């Protein structure tokens, strides 16, 4: 997937074993990294929303997450509602999450 924009992962995650992403990356690069062509390091530059409700727009065009800094402290502005997607293993797909080894 190309992670230039946040994707909704809640319907996809139960169906996949791994998620390869790139941000305007040559499509071969994530595959080559997975196959060991070079060391994998990658941190998310964005936050994936928990679900469509986290970014819903009401009839007055007000967004459920009103600040304009997705990926940075979004949940501080949501009165305790979840914004960040959390997978079945408890990983939070927020800005800075990722691999480094």
Measured in whole angstroms, the distance separating CA 32 from the mean position of its chain's CA atoms is: 21
Q: Please tell me the distance from the alpha carbon of residue 84 to that of residue 89, in angstroms, as a whole number.
A: 14
How high is the pLDDT of residue 60?
Answer: 84
Q: φ and ψ at 41, to 5 degrees?
A: -140, 130
How high is the pLDDT of residue 1?
Answer: 65
How high is the pLDDT of residue 32?
Answer: 82
| Residue 99 DSSP one-character state | E
Contacts of 39 (CB under 8 A, 6+ apart): 101
Tokens describing residue 22? 């790139």
How high is the pLDDT of residue 12?
Answer: 84
Q: Which domain holds residue 77?
A: 1-101
Neighbours of 85 (CB within 10 A): 22
Pairing of strands 41-43, 98-100: antiparallel
Q: Going residue by residue through the chain, which has 101 residues, state the pLDDT in tens, using 9 for 90 and above.
A: 666 666 788 888 888 887 766 666 677 877 787 788 877 667 777 788 888 888 777 888 877 666 655 556 667 666 667 788 898 889 888 888 876 65
| Residue 49 DSSP one-character state | B
Q: Domain count of the chain?
A: 1
């Amino acid at each position: 997937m190309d992670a230039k924009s946040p994707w909704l992962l809640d319907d996809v995650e139960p169906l996949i074993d791994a998620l390869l992403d790139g941000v305007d990356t040559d499509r071969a690069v994530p595959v080559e990294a997975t196959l060991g062509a070079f060391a994998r390091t990658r941190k998310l530059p964005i936050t994936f929303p928990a679900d469509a409700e986290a970014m819903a727009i009401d009839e007055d065009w007000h967004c459920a997450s009103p600040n304009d800094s997705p990926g940075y402290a979004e949940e501080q502005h949501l009165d305790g509602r979840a914004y960040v997607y959390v997978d079945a293993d408890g990983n939070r797909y927020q800005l800075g999450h990722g691999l480094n080894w």
